[in-house]
């Protein structure tokens, strides 16, 4: 049993998928988000899309960092995480403008004061204001903030995003075909709209990242930050404190800042790409839950995927693997490993896709391809080994 399983979480969400297997798959079963007829407006050429997601257990890291440093502004990053985990999933069906967002914040009032709520709510609006500068309009309609200390130990920050969108502008992944190349967009570095260096971690796998990297000091000092029934050998098993520094590209960055890098949105890139050459985009995959294996849920069933030119894993993932002794097989199944968006396109359009990303200071490269296969699989080739899923 993996450490991930022992901590009561699942990278593949097998039980969740089993629970929803009888639900309507929507108009396009391969699409990254469920797409439905226009119930709201009744138009045949329009669809309705709604998505719900959040910052997950990353909010616990923000809690620890805030308690240790007094820096309450860290909560603005959690607001961005909750927004981007919705927005970037919707990007993958082609939606990039005129969206509606409602937040859901559940807190333990004894642990989370009003100043934290202010940072999350104001941070959400600041995120929307920045997106608007790139022509991505998200209308913030408030939401629900509940004091539920009997349910949550600290705080959970989630949201729901909704849109009506023209059918003719959808990306449904049905165009992904044999011989497509996969252009990967880096999750790390500093793009034109990042405020600082981004570690690339995003908002998935944070339960493992937190427990693997941070030391037992946090278990003893902040017992409210973990499930008390967990075995001691999986709780805060690392050697670091949040204020320890790690060298990244010649600069010393704190472990806390690396773990809490706000999830980068690819909205400006995808908007530009879809407006300039919609036909070039055959499919879009957000490498969120399930990491580099996420694609296998959406790529058509007669295809296998080969990824043999992924980015070298950024520092944060090396730090996590060294702390946990996790296998490469598990790391690529849990984390994005430095590549969080995949664009499936023809070989002739790959350079154009890459150039759009680079306009925004985001590294991009052809990371792999699709091949016809009777035995469906994902093959990841790293410098050290071949991983099969």
CA dihedral 325, 330, 334, 337 (to 10 degrees): 80
Q: Cβ–Cβ contacts within 10 Å for residue 231, how many?
A: 8
Tokens of 40: 């709201």
Q: What is the DSSP string of 142-181?
A: EEEEEE-TTT-SSEEEEEEEEEEEEGGG---STT--TT-E
Q: Cβ–Cβ contacts within 10 Å for residue 142, how many?
A: 10
Tens place of pLDDT per residue across the chain (389 aa): 666 677 777 655 567 657 767 778 899 999 999 999 999 999 999 999 999 999 999 999 999 999 999 999 999 999 999 999 999 999 999 999 999 999 999 999 999 999 999 999 999 999 999 999 999 999 999 999 999 999 999 999 999 999 999 999 999 999 999 999 999 999 999 999 999 999 999 999 999 999 999 999 999 999 999 999 999 999 999 999 999 999 998 899 999 999 999 999 999 999 999 999 999 999 999 999 999 999 999 999 899 999 999 999 999 999 999 999 999 999 999 999 999 999 999 999 999 999 999 999 999 999 999 999 989 999 999 999 999 99
Residue 266, phi then psi, degrees to nearest 5? -105, 15
Coil/strand/helix, residue 356: helix
What CATH code would you report for 3-196+260-388? 3.30.1330.10
Per residue in 315-344, is it b (16+ CB within 10 Å) or e — as a string? bbbebbbebbebebebbbbbbbbbbbbbbb
**∠ CA 68-59-134, rounded to 5°:** 115
């Amino acid at each position: 049993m993996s450490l991930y399983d022992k901590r009561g979480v699942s990278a593949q969400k097998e039980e969740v998928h089993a629970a929803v297997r009888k639900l309507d798959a929507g108009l396009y079963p391969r699409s990254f988000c469920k797409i439905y007829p226009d119930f709201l407006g009744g138009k045949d050429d329009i669809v309705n899309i709604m998505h719900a997601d959040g910052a997950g257990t990353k909010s616990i890291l923000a809690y620890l960092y805030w308690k240790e440093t007094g820096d309450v502004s860290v909560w603005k990053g959690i607001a961005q995480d909750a927004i981007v985990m919705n927005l970037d999933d919707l990007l993958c069906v082609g939606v990039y403008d005129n969206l509606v967002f409602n937040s859901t914040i559940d807190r333990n009032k004894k642990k989370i004061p009003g100043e934290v709520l202010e940072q999350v709510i104001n941070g959400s609006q600041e995120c929307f204001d920045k997106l608007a500068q790139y022509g991505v309009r998200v209308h913030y309609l408030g939401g629900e903030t509940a004091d539920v200390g009997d349910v949550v130990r600290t705080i959970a920050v989630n949201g729901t995003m909704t849109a009506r969108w023209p059918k003719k502008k959808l990306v449904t992944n049905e165009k992904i075909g044999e011989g497509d190349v996969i252009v990967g967009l880096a999750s790390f570095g500093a793009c034109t709209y990042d405020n600082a260096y981004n570690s690339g971690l995003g908002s998935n796998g944070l339960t493992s990242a937190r427990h693997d990297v941070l030391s037992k000091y946090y278990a003893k000092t902040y017992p409210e930050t973990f499930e008390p029934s967990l075995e001691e050998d999986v709780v805060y098993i690392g050697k670091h404190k949040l204020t320890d520094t790690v060298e990244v590209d010649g600069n010393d960055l704190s472990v806390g800042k690396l773990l809490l890098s706000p999830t980068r949105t690819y909205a400006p890139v995808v908007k530009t790409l879809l407006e300039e050459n919609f036909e070039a985009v055959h499919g879009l995959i957000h490498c969120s839950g399930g990491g580099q294996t996420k694609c296998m849920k959406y790529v058509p069933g007669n295809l296998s995927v080969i990824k043999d030119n992924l980015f070298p894993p950024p520092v944060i993932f090396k730090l996590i693997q060294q702390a946990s002794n996790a296998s490469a097989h598990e790391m690529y199944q849990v984390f994005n490993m430095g590549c969080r968006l995949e664009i499936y396109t023809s070989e002739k359009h790959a350079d154009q896709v890459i150039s759009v990303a680079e306009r925004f200071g985001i590294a991009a490269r052809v990371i792999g391809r699709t091949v016809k296969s009777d035995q469906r699989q994902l093959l990841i080739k790293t410098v050290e080994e071949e991983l099969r899923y």
